[in-house]
Amino acid sequence: MESLRYLYKIGPGPSSSHTIGPKRISEVFLNEFHNAYSYKVDLFGSLALTGKGHLTDYIIEKTFKNRRLKINFIYEFKEEHPNTMDLYAYDKDGNVIGYRRAFSIGGGDFSFSHLDNNEQRKKIYPHQSMDKIIKYLKDNKISLSDYVYYYDSDIKEYLHIILDKMFDSIERGLKSSGKLPGTLNLERVASKIYHHALEVDDESERDKLLISAYAYAVNEENACAGEIVTAPTCGSSGVVPSLLYHFYKKFKTPKVKLVDALAVAGIIGNLVKRNATISGAEGGCQAEVGTACSMASSMVSYLFNLDIDKIEYAAEVAMEHHLGLTCDPVKGYVQIPCIERNAVAALRAYDAALFAKHIGNYRKNRVSFDQVIETMAATGKDLSYHYKETSLGGLAKHVKDK
Ligand code: SF4
């Protein structure tokens, strides 16, 4: 598996595969063919179908700055990947002087068809499954965060930056008001939920509302193309930060411990990325919000000081109950169901950690985390493309304007 740097990325919302990925692909292409007279970008499949709502054309135009550029939305799917982009560079006479086919593979990551995966990214973690990692931790009597710092040796400083960026996005979101972009006409409500929560007497209800407010804050920032951290994607960027912020505010958990928790969550996200997918276009929302929920529940379990078996238990429970979850953003905006879904997943992640802490004492989970990832990957393949970031099915089809 790769460094956690390639999982947690800082960038503009609203969709890592539709904004951060295409932005980075465009940057690499421009770097390679910077002297061209003009350019063309063809967006295929999911990039075309939800590209407008996900601001794909906006971010590509912004990256190409004032260069001559034409963008085409082509609704057919290419066999290699549902998020395919073809980029062309032309000379003054209209001759093609550069061409690349690229894939935005989820979480802002990308690959080029002319490079194989080994050329594209260094693998630094030697274990590719949770079972093998757990065995290694037990054999060597180390924690999961120690494992990360051993193999991803300079990651700690980067995770501190990531934590601060996550908190920035919450604090910006809690201070903002007004309408979200697009035609859904949705108000930003994170600040309202937050202030309402502070008035609620019941501590448990208040905590749930606060966690929800933090998740809404990040995802409303994301919907406004604000800067967020992929965890593991833009669409699912509110789940992990909301719980970290909750521990920071309520329990005064020090940042060094929260960074360790981010490392733990990162391994869970990396395993899903390596063995299944974190892309809504490939696996539906189970791959995005389901993964975020697994990451967050492992992180909360770590903050509860649970052992590695219970961390695995929590991560598995969190994914198991997202299996089959479809991606169906209404009108292609990463707003409905996405914003609320992050808040629901944050609460579910907390509950999954509570299950691990308490119910885990009576019975070990029968389904392993590796098995649930395998199941998620297979379920994602079976899902119709209507439910994989195309806005052709589900809520996107059935929710009509009032
Ligand atoms: S429904 Fe889920 S996977 Fe689809 S855009 Fe929203 S958050 Fe991402």
- Report the alpha-carbon distance of residue 9 to residue 107 in Å, rounded: 8
With a 6 Å cutoff on the Cβ, whether 48 touches ligand 1 is no
DSSP letter for 365, please.
-
Task: Tell me the C-alpha distance between 126 and 151, whole Å.
Answer: 8
Specify the pLDDT at position 122: 84
Kindly tell me if the per-residue pLDDT of 121 is higher than 80.
Answer: no
Q: What is the pLDDT of residues 122-160, one digit of tens each?
A: 899 999 999 999 999 999 999 999 999 999 999 999 999
Q: How far apart are CA 315 and CA 325, in angstroms?
A: 16
191 pLDDT higher than 90: yes
How would residue 213 be classed by pLDDT, with cut points 50, 70 and 90? very high
Tokens of residue 81, six digits:
């990947």
Using the structure block, give the residue that is written with the tokens 């669409």: 235
Under a CB-based contact definition with an 8 Å cutoff, are residues 276 and 241 in contact?
no
**Confidence category of residue 120, pLDDT binned at 50, 70, 90:** low
For residue 14 and ligand 1, the question of a CB distance below 6 A is answered with no
pTM, full prediction: 0.93
Q: Is the CB of 106 under 6 A from ligand 1?
A: no
pLDDT at 401 over 80: no
Give first-to-last CA distance, the chain, whole Å: 47
Chain centre distance of CA 264: 16
Given the DSSP bridges, would you call strands 84-90 and 96-106 parallel, antiparallel or unpaired? Answer: antiparallel
Cα 285 to ligand 1 centroid, rounded to whole Å: 5
Cβ of residue 238 lying under 6 Å from some atom of ligand 1: no
Q: What are phi and psi of 73, to 5 degrees?
A: -100, 115
E strand or H helix at 255: helix 255-275
Architecture per CATH, 13-118 = 2-Layer Sandwich (3.30)
Cα separation, 21 vs 26, in Å, equals 9
Report d(CA 102, CA 21) in Å as an integer: 10
- Annotated domain spans of the chain: 13-118, 130-398
The whole-angstrom distance between residue 213's C-alpha and the CA centroid of its chain comes to 19
CA quadruple 374, 289, 58, 394: dihedral, nearest 10? 90
